[in-house]
Structure 1
């Protein structure tokens, strides 16, 4: 009994010393404040597999010594890749320098500039675009300025109607941009009559509808009289600067004159008023049309040979052709 009482007193003394007297004791001794709290967080449970302990491996053997490798040749440094754009720019710059050097050139040096290429050839003119003129089958081309030189002497009495009809047809075939003139020549019986009569007194006229319609009435007033003088007619014709002359005549009067001398004088006068130029051609090409019969002196043929443009510059219209009209 005494032993139990002594044990109870020793217990109380112990609580008093430790400062726990008067405090409510926890249900368990482990619930004291300030003591280490237990972490009751649950952890997944499962079978934990133990990793096998690796077996000890033998230590690697050091590599066997190798003979030294033979020296390799040193490769040349690769050329850096050149950018295409930079190459083009360098090329353009070099071309510009070359062009500038060619233009200027060093002092005292003349750099030949290449000649430009020749222009392409012009297309050959079509037959429709080349101005043409014709009389009684005698063709002339090109024909921009045409003179019809009509013999108005008495020798043309049998041919004048044919000439008038064919002349109207020839003028009507001209284009509007062509020019023409009609000159009637003769040696008048007296000085009061003119030696030449022109359709247009001032200059050539364009082949307009109005001009063409005036030709026939004007020709109706022409009557064949007097004698022929071809020199007078040719001189007047060349005054209008034609490129084509149609000479319409029966021939030169042969009575009372020296025919050879007269023909020589006509040809010499014609060479003066229609000379050969440096190019070898003449300003005017002369076509001769003779009526009824050939001139035995061949003056009309000689004029065509010297002042025409080749075969076809002379033609004879026979009496049968005149009658057929």
Structure 2
């Protein structure tokens, strides 16, 4: 078993909305679990699939972990397995918690959620409320029946605005974001259309105001380099491979027998993040900050490439 990996038991499963199941996980025998902070996720091995789900229970809770899964019958299979086959009493292998979406200290917060994107924001809201920090949530979805955790959010009163599309349309982003508010941290999670619209409106806001977590790669990801061939050396395993112009680093390494943990293969989950020992990475992920890209200390081999002739990775 790799570092920070453990077996957990499905203690309970609860319908939170139409098509949304929450899953509560505990350690066998009730042992305490590693603490976590808002924005953290678990990587869960579902047999044929490895998926990442945001923790959405009480911040820092060590007695159990809670995730929520949206049923996507036309998806890649992970959500269908959770809804159709996973049941209380089953055991799953998990890695984490890991946090690529931390809640940074700010004078006040604006939380924007779309659909299942409410999950990472729930513990952030709880922490802000417990700390007495001013905040507001605007939560959009197809209908109230499809929007999870509304009873939990009701206790916050007027700080929460629910916007079901079938009755109220979509959130008015121009009204929410049209005038920059220095000191306000904006946290957004949901469909790519929502995130892209929020990003456009936050271009005039102070740098670093907006924080997002994606479920899919950005459609307008800017690429630095061309899709040319290059060489990758794995320092620890001694394997060197040629990465073709039309294959990924991960694919080339897997064909050579070097396995890298991965969940999304789209550069949005961070499970394959790998230290770079030499060479210049062409970052094409949706996770690293500008400062992290400039430092060049790590890369996501599922999507990122190389701006030099050769990369040396800590694999």
TM-score bracket for the superposition, by shorter chain length: under 0.3
TM-score (norm 1): 0.22
TM-score (norm 2): 0.23
Judging by fraction of residues, say which structure has more strand: 2
